[in-house]
Chains A and B, each alone.
Chain A
Amino acid sequence: MDFLDIVSSMLLLAGVFFGFSGAVGLFRFPDFFTRVHAASVTDSIAAILIIGGLLLQTSFDLNTAKLVFILLFLLVTSPTASHALAKSARHGGLLTLAESSSQDKQESAK
């Protein structure tokens, strides 16, 4: 395994680790907004690392261009999508954990 392979496998493993942490965060976090944060942050970093690892595998040709295009596309669209989702959730009247717990307290206090 020459030097390039070692670096690319390291990148791949790091990317997979972050993807996995995002998935666990998505599954275990209590309310929606924390889950959005967990999912979108790790999405971007996992994409960068995995595609970076794959980039080292290819000699410079059409596939490299495609990989770079996918990376740029993901980096532009997935944060936008998460932002738009959180914004429309906010519009839709979804309360964060803190707000909903304080709201429960007011009802119980009444």
Chain B
Amino acid sequence: MTEILAAACIAILVVMAIALARAFKAPTVYDRILGVNMFGTKTVLFIAASGYLMGRPDFLDIAIVYALINFIGMVAVLRFFEYTSPIE
């Protein structure tokens, strides 16, 4: 069972790397926000999976904080960059 969990963790890492690449290369502002948002949700899943892999599943509080801060960061970006030009 731990091999499956390890494989899942590595796969999520790869997905995070791709989301990071999107955040690096993004042409428009909104692509960058999208990359950050996907990166955030994937880290939540990564923490849950690696918690079980390492046998210490009681660190899920951090996953909750991650999801929360990711959402608030997203709302803050939208609130303060509502009227700016999308193409930098």
Contact = CB atoms under 8 A, between A and B. Distances in A.
Interface of A: 1, 5, 8-9, 12-13, 15-16, 19-20, 22-24, 26-27, 32, 35-36, 39, 43, 46-47, 50-51, 53-54, 57-58, 62-63, 66-67, 69-70, 73-74, 77-78, 80-82, 84-85, 88-89, 91-94
Nearest to A12: B8
Which 9 interchain pairs have the tightest Cβ spacing?
A66-B60, A23-B18, A9-B4, A16-B11, A77-B71, A23-B15, A89-B30, A81-B74, A63-B57
Given A1-B1, A73-B67, A74-B67, A84 B45 contact: no
A22 B39 CA distance: 12
A50 B34 contact: no
B15 A91 contact: no
A44 B41 CA distance: 9
Interface residues of B, number: 48
A57 B45 contact: no
A20 B78 contact: no
Given A22-B38, A23-B14, A23-B18, A92 B4 contact: no
